[in-house]
Structure 1
Amino acid sequence: MMSMQQSIKLSPYMGLYDLIVPMDNMLRQINDLVDFTFVYEELKDKYCLDNARNAIDPIRMFKYLLLKTIHDLSDVDIVERSKYDMSFKYFLDMTPEEEVIDPSSLTKFRKLRLKDINLLDLLINKTVEIALEKEIIKSKSIIVDATHTKARYNQMKPKEILMERSKKLRKAIYQIDESMRSKFPSKTKTDVLEDEIAYSQKLIEVIEKEVTLIQYPVVKEQLNLLKETVADDLEQIKCSKDHDAKVGHKTADSSFFGYKTHLAMSEERIITAAVITTGEKNDGKQLQTLIEKSEEAGIQVETVIGDAAYSEKDNIKYSKTNKINLVAKLNPSVTQGFRTKEDEFEFNKDAGMYVCKAGHLAIRKARTGKKNTGRNQVETYYFDIEKCKRCPFRAGCYKEGAKSKTYSVSLKSTEYLDQAEFQESEYFKQKSKERYKIEAKNSELKHRHGYDVATSSGLIGMEMQGAMSIFTVNLKRILKLKGQQ
């Protein structure tokens, strides 16, 4: 049962918070900034309101997940820290002497209470609402880009995940006690996943016997991360990969296995919209959705700033129709060319190649026609014929017995003259300089909040991770800008 009102906290020790948690503490500031009662409204249908025993306060559970994102810790360690960290207790609306939750409750909360909620849009819209109320967002421009997140479960070798975590654990221990080397089990010499799981379990058993050693926070945190992987996610690791994740291309020579987060951000560096897709999706195709989501959140969009991926034909038409300035450089291969089967072949701006419907990247390209004119030229993209022979979409695309598979684009520089002219304007050049801001935001998400690797498997899990991470960076940015006002 969910209680709709929090009970009044009666404790003779509440005054400690005013002595120990300073007014400029980030968690205290977030508590003052955000009215978390919106969590009740969103989750009320997930609880029984009139029978059974009281559930743990959903606001407290939500705040635990927020703390987990801010500090990039395991469920076990975030709960452990809430036992003694007074700023945590204050943020969680606990009395100083109150007992903490069982860490397993967080897993249940994520799976049972949050699974059917559009948490991504909900949390972004909430922070944008706060930023507009505080008059922090004043610009009428959004900057768009996509960042990739690697799947937690590697496409080829899930064994490497366990190896990396056990390595970090051993390294933390060696910094404290080098003599532990002799007590550890022998490392595996096979490529069998089950052998690595068995090794990790033996390693955990040895370390847990060292009572003094596991009191060190650096050891405890790495130990709990390894245990969480082995115990909680064992079944998914055995599946060898995340079935929702897909291969995406960062450059012509490199790829990743995972997801893409397509972001829109105001010039004040507040994320206004996000779309999370599998890794192979085209960046430009998400632009219209990002604009519409930003407008639904309350942003007036007069200008969109992005790279060449967003200057495709449909986006130029959409921008003109909606009187939006599209500050994205034209790419001849995407916007000025005439091509067939546009829905089956999409341009990947990072690799500089087309990608077919099956997600296969062209391996090379060649241009024919009169040079230096840009007219009557054809750019031909060549695909790996061996992949085409085995492709599930080969019917109507690959001709049996063919020695090559190509896709051609006819270049016509006389089209899109308005966009080309706008590209030379001073306004375009000045607004283009704002694009670096979103690259810095992507870096913050990855390096400070663990967004470089998915914390769970599946698109739903990725959306939940994205929601909490974006909510966190937006709140931090709002606090910073509010302090400068």
Structure 2
Amino acid sequence: MLDSQIKMSTSSYQQLYDLIVDENHQLRKLHDIIDYSFVHEELRHTYSENMGRKAVEPIVLFKYLMLKVIYELSDVDVVKRSKTDMAFKFFLDMAPEEEVIDPSLLTKFRKLRLKDEKLLNQLLARTIILAKEKDLLKNHTLIVDSTHTKSRYNKKSARTILLEQAKKVRRQLYQIDENLRDKLPTKPTNSGVLEDTIAYCEKLVEFVEKKDEFQYAQKLMEQKNLLKEFTLDHTEALKESYDEDARVGHKSYDESFFGYKTHIGMTPERIIAVAHVTSGEKNDGKQLKDLIRISEENGYGVDEIIGDAAYSERENIEYAKENDIILISKLNRAITHSNKKSKIGFEFNKDANTYQCPGGHLSIKKVNKRPRQNAVDGKGDVETYFFDVEKCRECSLRKGCYKDGANTKSHSISLKSNTHLEYMVFQETDFFKERAKERYKIEAKNSELKHSHGFEVASGSGLVGMRLQSAVTMFTVNLKRILKLLDEKEA
């Protein structure tokens, strides 16, 4: 049951915050910069107002998730720190003497209240409104790119994941006392039974938690807390042999990853205006129309796009021209083909610099020809990309794509240079070259998300989990950026 109105905490100790939490503290600034009551309104429909036990205010739970992002903490550790850190309590709108929540509430909050796929851009829209109110956005340029996030489960079985985390706990224990080896719970046999592994992990967690002397070993407790989370989550996140929604994507021809892509549109001021989460194999260029549409829905109009060669597909060039949008994206000869076959799922992968089939497999060879009968303007080429038939024979999507018994599988593209002649002239102008220099900003933003806010590896499983991680992370990162811009403005 959720109260129909937000109730503010009152305490005779409230003045302690003025003495302890400095006015320039990051959490005080994040607390004051925006009215978080919108979280209550957005999530009211997920609660009952007259049935069940009284619920913890969703604003508080959402702020706990923000703290997890800012300080890269587990559920258990963010709650533990909130018990003693006055800056945390101030940010959470708690009274100094107020008790913290049970960490399990955060898990339930994520799974039961934050499943709306629109949440990500609803939060980004709030930060765009705030940036406009502070007069921080100066134009309508959208810098676009995608960043990949590896699956938390990395194509491993639930049993393997649990055993690997249990091994990390045991290593920390051995560093404390080598003689503990004979006292620890017996490792499960190689039967492959998940239930046996779960029981073993629960016993190992219990062993650590019973010993008072271990409570001050920070690294041990952090690894124990992660093992406990993994074990508790097994019925949802670990019951499959791998993350169902994650897919193999390519960072280059030789380097791949298993996970997700978050397609991002950012302002030149480095505020994320729009984001769209997909599985890892999705083509970047195909997301451009959605990024523009959602950006405008979020309150950030677009009259210029800056991106890498992935966005210079013929369809995107034509769309930009029809909608009076300047597209700054250097042509890649292979992805600007006139290609009817692309409709059945063959797409150019700009990272690997070759084509991939609907099943996500890359071509292994390319042959270039120039048949005169197909060259309307005398300059047409045909490129043929060949695929590994051994993979085709095993592919679940082979029906209608690969003919049983065939020794080869190829995909041909007709190239017509006159189609892009106008754009080729445009990309040689000084204006194009100067505007293209802005693209580095989004690469720096991607690096910040990964290295400072845990975006390199998914914190949960599935597209729902990845969207939630993106939502909280990007909302928090945007607020931090707005604070920095305001400080620079006042300096």
* Shorter-normalised TM range: over 0.9
Q: Secondary structure at the match of 2:343?
A: coil
Q: Whole-Å Cα distance in 2 between the matches of residues 257 and 150 of structure 1?
A: 6
Structure 2 CA distance for partners of 1:41 and 1:331, relative to 1, 3 Å: same
- Displacement, 1:38? 0.5
Q: Which residue of 2 aligns with 1:46?
A: 46
Would you say 1:383 and 2:387 are equivalent positions?
A: yes
Q: Which residue of 2 aligns with 1:483?
A: 487
Q: What is the correspondence of 1:23-42 to structure 2 with a 5 Å cutoff?
A: 23-42=23-42
**Over aligned residues, Cα RMSD in angstroms?**
2.5
Q: Whole-Å Cα distance in 2 between the matches of residues 141 and 437 of structure 1?
A: 12
The worse-fitting range, judged by mean Cα deviation, of 46-55 and 138-147 is: 46-55
Q: Whole-Å Cα distance in 2 between the matches of residues 165 and 136 of structure 1?
A: 45
Q: Whole-Å Cα distance in 2 between the matches of residues 262 and 8 of structure 1?
A: 38
Q: What is the correspondence of 1:223-262 to structure 2 with a 5 Å cutoff?
A: 223-233=224-234, 236-262=237-263
Can you list the C-alpha shifts for 1:304-324, whole angstroms capped at 9, x where unaligned?
Answer: 111111000110001001111
Q: Which residue of 1 aligns with 2:424?
A: 420
Q: Which residue of 2 aligns with 1:303?
A: 304
Q: Which residue of 1 aligns with 2:323?
A: 322
The worse-fitting range, judged by mean Cα deviation, of 169-178 and 147-156 is: 169-178
Q: Whole-Å Cα distance in 2 between the matches of residues 187 and 423 of structure 1?
A: 62
The letter for the 1-side match of 2:333 is P
Q: Secondary structure at the match of 1:433?
A: helix
Q: Whole-Å Cα distance in 2 between the matches of residues 64 and 277 of structure 1?
A: 26
The worse-fitting range, judged by mean Cα deviation, of 155-164 and 424-433 is: 155-164
Can you list the C-alpha shifts for 1:282-318, whole angstroms capped at 9, x where unaligned?
Answer: 1101001111111222223221111111000110001
Can you list the C-alpha shifts for 1:104-130, whole angstroms capped at 9, x where unaligned?
Answer: 112222222222362111111111111
Structure 2 CA distance for partners of 1:60 and 1:281, relative to 1, 3 Å: same
Q: Whole-Å Cα distance in 1 between the matches of residues 378 and 184 of structure 2?
A: 66
The worse-fitting range, judged by mean Cα deviation, of 186-195 and 396-405 is: 186-195
Would you say 1:346 and 2:350 are equivalent positions?
A: no
Structure 2 CA distance for partners of 1:473 and 1:232, relative to 1, 3 Å: same
Can you list the C-alpha shifts for 1:248-278, whole angstroms capped at 9, x where unaligned?
Answer: 1221122222111000001111000011011
Can you list the C-alpha shifts for 1:443-479, whole angstroms capped at 9, x where unaligned?
Answer: 1111221111111111111111110111111111111
How many equivalent pairs are there?
Answer: 483
Q: Which residue of 1 aligns with 2:102?
A: 102
- Displacement, 1:436? 1.4
Would you say 1:461 and 2:465 are equivalent positions?
A: yes
Are the counterparts in 2 of residues 339 and 410 from structure 1 also a CA contact under 8 Å?
no
Are the counterparts in 1 of residues 128 and 299 from structure 2 also a CA contact under 8 Å?
yes
Can you list the C-alpha shifts for 1:110-160, whole angstroms capped at 9, x where unaligned?
Answer: 222222362111111111111111111213211111111112222244455
Q: Whole-Å Cα distance in 1 between the matches of residues 100 and 49 of structure 2?
A: 23
Q: Which residue of 1 aligns with 2:374?
A: none
Q: Secondary structure at the match of 2:77?
A: helix
Q: Whole-Å Cα distance in 2 between the matches of residues 53 and 235 of structure 1?
A: 24
Q: Which residue of 1 aligns with 2:86?
A: 86
Structure 2 CA distance for partners of 1:198 and 1:362, relative to 1, 3 Å: farther
Q: Whole-Å Cα distance in 2 between the matches of residues 326 and 428 of structure 1?
A: 9
Q: Secondary structure at the match of 1:10?
A: coil
Q: Whole-Å Cα distance in 1 between the matches of residues 378 and 141 of structure 2?
A: 32
Are the counterparts in 1 of residues 158 and 234 from structure 2 also a CA contact under 8 Å?
no
- Displacement, 1:203? 3.5
Q: Whole-Å Cα distance in 2 between the matches of residues 338 and 238 of structure 1?
A: 42
Can you list the C-alpha shifts for 1:154-190, whole angstroms capped at 9, x where unaligned?
Answer: 2244455335534544555566666656755677795
Are the counterparts in 1 of residues 314 and 338 from structure 2 also a CA contact under 8 Å?
no
Structure 2 CA distance for partners of 1:172 and 1:473, relative to 1, 3 Å: farther
Are the counterparts in 1 of residues 248 and 281 from structure 2 also a CA contact under 8 Å?
yes
The letter for the 2-side match of 1:249 is H
The worse-fitting range, judged by mean Cα deviation, of 284-293 and 167-176 is: 167-176
The letter for the 2-side match of 1:118 is K
Q: What is the correspondence of 1:56-95 to structure 2 with a 5 Å cutoff?
A: 56-95=56-95
Q: Whole-Å Cα distance in 2 between the matches of residues 335 and 329 of structure 1?
A: 10
Structure 2 CA distance for partners of 1:431 and 1:161, relative to 1, 3 Å: farther
Q: Which residue of 1 aligns with 2:284?
A: 283
Q: What is the correspondence of 1:157-176 to structure 2 with a 5 Å cutoff?
A: 157-170=157-170
TM-score normalised over the length of structure 1 = 0.92
Q: Whole-Å Cα distance in 2 between the matches of residues 174 and 426 of structure 1?
A: 63
Q: Any gaps of 5 or more consecutive residues in structure 1?
A: none
Q: Secondary structure at the match of 1:44?
A: helix
The letter for the 2-side match of 1:139 is N
Q: Whole-Å Cα distance in 2 between the matches of residues 29 and 179 of structure 1?
A: 49
Q: Whole-Å Cα distance in 1 between the matches of residues 380 and 139 of structure 2?
A: 42
- Displacement, 1:193? 6.9
Q: Secondary structure at the match of 2:242?
A: coil
Structure 2 CA distance for partners of 1:193 and 1:304, relative to 1, 3 Å: farther
Q: Whole-Å Cα distance in 2 between the matches of residues 128 and 283 of structure 1?
A: 23
Q: Whole-Å Cα distance in 1 between the matches of residues 349 and 191 of structure 2?
A: 34
The worse-fitting range, judged by mean Cα deviation, of 175-184 and 74-83 is: 175-184
Q: Which residue of 2 aligns with 1:411?
A: 415
